[in-house]
Amino acid sequence: MKMLTPRTRVVTRILRGALTALCAAPLGLSVGAQVAPPPAAAKLVAEPAAIALRVGQSLTVKVRAYDAQGKEIPNAFVRVQSTSRTIRFTETTVTATAAGKFEATATATGVNGAPVLLTIPITVTWPALTKVEITSASTTLYAGLTTPVRLSGSHADNSERTGLTGTWRTSDAKLATVNRFGDVTALAPGSVALSVEAEGQRASKTFTITANPVARLEIGIPESQLRTGEVIHLKATARRTNGTVVADAPITWSYTYVPDDSIAPAGLPGGAGIVQFDRFAANYPGRYTLLAQSGAAYAQWAVQVNPRDVRQRIEVTSRGNINTTHTSDLWPWTGKDGRDYVLVGTWGGDGWGLVFDITDMDNIVKTDSIRVDARTINDVTISPDGRYGVISREGASNRVNGVVILDLAVPAHPKIASTFDQELTGGVHNVFATTDYLFAISGGQKYVIIDVRDIAKPTYVSEYRHPNARIHDLWVRDGIAYSAQGGAGVVVVDVGNGKYGGTIEAPKLIATYQVNSGHEIFPYFQKKTGRTYLFVGDEEMSRRGRVWEGTQYSLSGPDGKPPRGGIAQTSGGYTHIIDFTDPTKPMAVGRYHLEDYGSHDIIVEDDVLYQAYYDGGVRVVDVSGELMGNLTDQNREIAVFKPYDPDAFTANAPFVMNAMPWKGRVLFTDFNSGLWAAKLIPKPVVQ
């Protein structure tokens, strides 16, 4: 599981007594005496009280909690989150990726579990601009045509200034004009200088204007029918009167739209289609006329867009109820005995992992449980060959944490083969297993690579730590480690692929891509298009500042334990989609976005996205073909299920942590109600 990352350590580790799980079957005996509940917070104080920093700067921040008598509560559990994805907090620092005025909210548990809040104002400024530059595809302009010219800027450290605007001018307005966005309209042949000024920095560039040679446009789009969300490439050729091609003629695209009968009665929705990257995708069914224009030359192409009806009913087939503690991650596998199993972790459950036999997905049966020294098992995983399993540990009694490696020779009853904690003392939040190596995230700071060819004697191999970032999740495919890291976004490292110079012993950075997210990641190679898409998920547990601000749920009650019952938890954020086919030229192309819920674990298989969407439930989404725009708008959702359960840890409060396809079914864990299995009901065949 890739669960909520605490901003500070818990108040104190609470050792709870007997824990029960599946259908109230006992998991173990009492593990220690109860201790007094920690003091309730009455006031929070931030140091500094107001945050001021520059983009790229890391600033130390401390939020202290005080009780009603004004006494500081040592190591209090205080969560700090910003209303903007451009602001990232670690346990002790804050960084920013964009300038502006923002707010952060610090939250701690007060009397009777009520949250105590503190608002922290944040002002972020850009570093001084040291250089600006005018960029254009060509220095030749054609009279009568408008050509986009762009402004780029950089700082002293050569980092790029994003969102830069400037004041544009031309040397002769009779020859060319320029608007505030840098779009230049050539009026008559001649030579003209274009200049721009931004924050005291100035750049200029000279252009030659010639007579417009474009006589006509020819559209080369083969498609005349498509479904919502399908992408077509916009192709048009500019020709002179003699038929020769004008290769550098600027061509602009637009569209008109007539809704079909399924849309018109409800009114025309906004944003019917998308024109971007020389591609077009329609969000809604109807008739679209694609328009190409280059000066006076004009051409059009009509396409009919049909509804994408991929909906299927989803039906629950069995349960593995866990309602005496929170449930975390899951991982299914086929055992050496030929039967199917799933390992499930618990959050705040005193280190219990559960094993279920899922051979019959209509009748899930618990076979065993494993206990480790941990407050939380945040993540579990199984090697691809089913040889070993891994339990991550956080909140161990000795604060060492690390991972526990399981021998799966008898899969229904795993045995502990070894533990490993070298360089893993900060708590292991997530792990990823290959056949020979285990990748374990250490305290959000780095990932450690462990040789597990001998599971009884695991050994340290190497590690990778990215500067000024906080890693939360990683996925390894074909010797490349893709990680989601707050402050850096996507970090891609060669850990044995070799094409980019890295080995398992000496990992080497391939590329980074700044996305205002650093929580979940899944790389997916799409066979039909040959593209590699990265699905990168947010996790935002504070909804403050939004229209629906959520319930302000607290992860711990006044006694430091996860509160049984209470109110439903809420979340925010969404899943970003990045075309990473060329790691040197990544491009954000789409998203899966539902405003009132937040995304969590992500798996894509056979062009279907299985998305744990927290309080939005488990969601199954069609991601076939090229992707562009918001999948929600394009009717790509196949099925949605929200696991309401009146007997859950928090009653009727869906909060899906992880979802995976397994042999034609959907397995998922819910934070409050445990393990679920479901199946999609095939659409009836129309004769």
Helix, strand, coil shares of the chain, percent, nearest 5, are 0, 50, 50
pLDDT band at 539 (very low <50, low <70, confident <90, very high): confident
Q: How many domains does the chain have?
A: 4
Last residue of a domain, one of 163, 191, 210: 210
490-501 per-position pLDDT tens digit:
999 999 999 999
Whole-number pLDDT of residue 238 = 96
Does the N-terminal peptide bond of residue 48 adopt cis geometry, omega within 30 degrees of 0?
Answer: yes
Expressed as residue numbers, the domain containing 83 is 38-125
Summarised one tens digit per residue, pLDDT across range 521-531 is: 999 999 999 99
User: Rounded distance, CA 681 to CA 665, Å?
Assistant: 10
Residues 498 and 520 in one domain: yes
Q: Do 235 and 168 fall into the same domain?
A: no
pLDDT of residue 79: 81
Last residue of a domain, one of 92, 125, 158: 125
Cα-to-chain-centroid distance, residue 196: 37
Give the mean model confidence (pLDDT) for residues 626-634.
95
Domain presence at residue 24:
no
Residue 407 included in any domain: no
Same domain, 182 and 263: no
Average pLDDT over residues 268-280: 83
- Could you tell me if 294 and 165 lie in one domain? no
The whole-number pLDDT of residue 560 equals 54
pLDDT band at 40 (very low <50, low <70, confident <90, very high): confident
Do residue 197 and residue 235 come from a single domain? no
- Provide the pLDDT confidence category of residue 268 given band limits of 50, 70 and 90: low
Q: Bigger pLDDT: 363 or 686?
A: 363
Residues 600 and 531 in one domain: yes
pLDDT the model gives residue 559: 54
Per-residue pLDDT at 434: 98
Q: Pick the more confident residue, 466 or 114.
A: 466
pLDDT of residue 425: 81
Amino acid 98: pLDDT: 86
Indicate if the pLDDT at residue 43 is higher than 90.
yes
Q: What was the pLDDT predicted at 57?
A: 86
Residue 653 located in a structural domain = no
Q: How far is CA 13 from the centre of its chain?
A: 30
What's the CATH number where 267 sits?
2.60.40.10
Inside any domain, residue 538:
yes
Do residues 202 and 104 share a domain? no
614 and 495 in a common domain = yes
Residue 2 has pLDDT above 50, yes or no: no
The average pLDDT across 487-511 equals 95
Q: Is the model's pLDDT at 635 over the cut of 80?
A: yes
Q: What's the pLDDT score for residue 220?
A: 96
pTM to 2 decimals? 0.86
pLDDT above 90 (res 366): yes
Together in a domain, 69 and 151: no
Residues 191 and 54 in one domain: no
pLDDT, residue 537, reads 93
pLDDT (tens digit, 9 = 90+) per residue, 677-686?
999 999 887 6
**CATH code of 173's domain:** 2.60.40.1080
pLDDT for residue 29 is more than 80? no
Report pLDDT digits (tens) over 211-223.
Answer: 999 999 999 999 9
DSSP 510-571: EEEE--S--SEEEEEEETTTTEEEEEEE--B---TTSSS------SS-TTSSPPSSS-----
Find the mean pLDDT for residues 8-32: 31
Tell me: do 634 and 505 sit in the same domain: yes
Cβ-based neighbours of 428, under 8 Å, separated by 6 or more: 378, 379, 392, 393, 394, 401, 402, 403, 440, 441, 442
